[in-house]
Amino acid sequence: MESREDPGAAATSSASNEADAAAEREAASGSSGSDSDDEGGASGLTEMEFLRNLLSRTLNLGSEKPEKVLDELTLEGVSRYMLTEKCKNVVFMVGAGISTAAGIPDFRSPGTGLYANLQQYNLPYPEAIFEINYFKKHPEPFFALARELYPGQFKPTVCHYFMRLLKEKGLLLRCYTQNIDTLERVAGLDHEDLVEAHGTFFTSHCISPTCKKMYSLEWMKEKIFSSLIPKCEKCQSVVKPDIVFFGENLPSRFFSLMQSDFQNVDLLIIMGTSLQVQPFASLVARVPTNTPRLLINKEKTGESDPFMSLMGFGCGMDFDSEKAYRDVAWLGDCDEGCYALAEFLGWKKELEDLVKSEHATIDAKSGQAVGDGASASRPHKKDHQQKPSPKRERPPHPQDE
């Protein structure tokens, strides 16, 4: 599928890999993004170390030898593996495809994506609406678009609640998301569970480098729906949601957590992403050689030629060759893929009940009828939460903050 990577993905589109590499190098030594003050860019990787590690993984130069972990390369084979003691830590990589069922429009699909329908904003070119330098001079188009896309108008999908269910089962290590719609949070994932690689609407900051005052989701929402350009109460500079624009670094949290997470992951599940955006897509190649990888998407992606893999821009997934031993592709609607996997796991009824209960709670809070697409603007707790399975111990990893 041609996935919409949410506006934050604009900072790292495949058309700007050079800029992405620079952003990655800067972030590895201390990002200036919104998370940098809190997390200090503690990636611990020098540029040379990062390239050496990536090259070693890509060429399989390590001591680890490939071993077939799945008894068969199917969704059912993945489910059987998930039910064993070998599978304790699941990492998700998700993109726009998990949110389209919520009614959030695609960004890049020809003719129907937002980039194809931005004429009303009189932009010099579509991507300008997500460029930081253009935003500083002309913030009006972005905030007009933000009214259409603002978090709080959509409900999480089956995919979001499948990740929530795995959290309750004690299996979720982390969700790495390209999306900025905050639906992972609405579905019940906490800050600890998430790496919002392309930023989020959940918080906002003053863009003045000498101020950087933080503002809440509710504060920003009030300004946007009052058709006002949000201005800092302290210095009167423009306040921007903490999504990553062209020209900005990825959050340092992305670089610091990926080191431990992708060493300890037992299963990588990739959903609703084209895997064309760097450096996010390169995470697929960071898992240990024997770790199974499951793609749930409308089309196969992540397969790359040897040269691109060598340069660090390929994922190297192998679904069909004679050498395939760990990669599984389930093609179709992402929600249906999650239901199919949940059925093999024996959890489909739990997932259906969770979705129904959570959507009913959201509808009740919003005061609107079931199915009209309303949503809460911040995460909430279930009134009658299903008792989770006992937590399994996971390998230690650095603290999030």
Q: Is 27 left (phi over 0), alpha (psi -120 to 50) or beta?
A: alpha
Token pair of 94 as six digits: 């998700």
d(CA 211, CA 234): 8
Cα first-last separation, the chain: 35
Annotated binding site for Zn(2+): 206, 211, 232, 235
Q: Which of 198, 359, 384, 397 is catalytic?
A: 198
Q: What string of H, E and C letters represents the secondary structure of the chain?
A: CCCCCCHHHHHHCHHHHHHHHHHHHHHHCCCCCCCHHHHCCCCCCCHHHHHHHHHHHHCCCCCCCCCCCCCCCCHHHHHHHHCCCCCCCEEEEECHHHCHHHCCCCCCCCCCCHHHHCHHHCCCCHHHHHEHHHHHHCCHHHHHHHHHHCCCCCCCCHHHHHHHHHHHCCCEEEEEECCCCCHHHHCCCCHHHEEECCEEEEEEEECCCCCCCEEEHHHHHHHHCCCCCCECCCCCCEEEEEECCECCCCCHHHHHHHHHHHHHCCEEEEECCCCCCCCHHHHHHHCCCCCCEEEEECCCCCCCCHHHHHCCCCCCCCCCCCCCCCEEEEECCHHHHHHHHHHHHCCHHHHHHHHHHHHHHHHHHHCCCCCCCCCCCCCCCCCCCCCCCCCCCCCCCCCCC
Q: Are 58 and 52 in contact (CB under 8 A)?
A: no
d(CA 213, CA 210): 9
d(CA 44, CA 28): 7
Q: Are 285 and 54 in contact (CB under 8 A)?
A: yes
Annotated binding site: 96-100, 106-108, 178-181, 206, 211, 232, 235, 273-274, 297-299, 334
Annotated binding site for NAD(+): 96-100, 106-108, 178-181, 273-274, 297-299, 334
The reply to whether 198 belongs to the active site is: yes
Cα 391 from chain centre: 24
Residues identified as active-site: 198
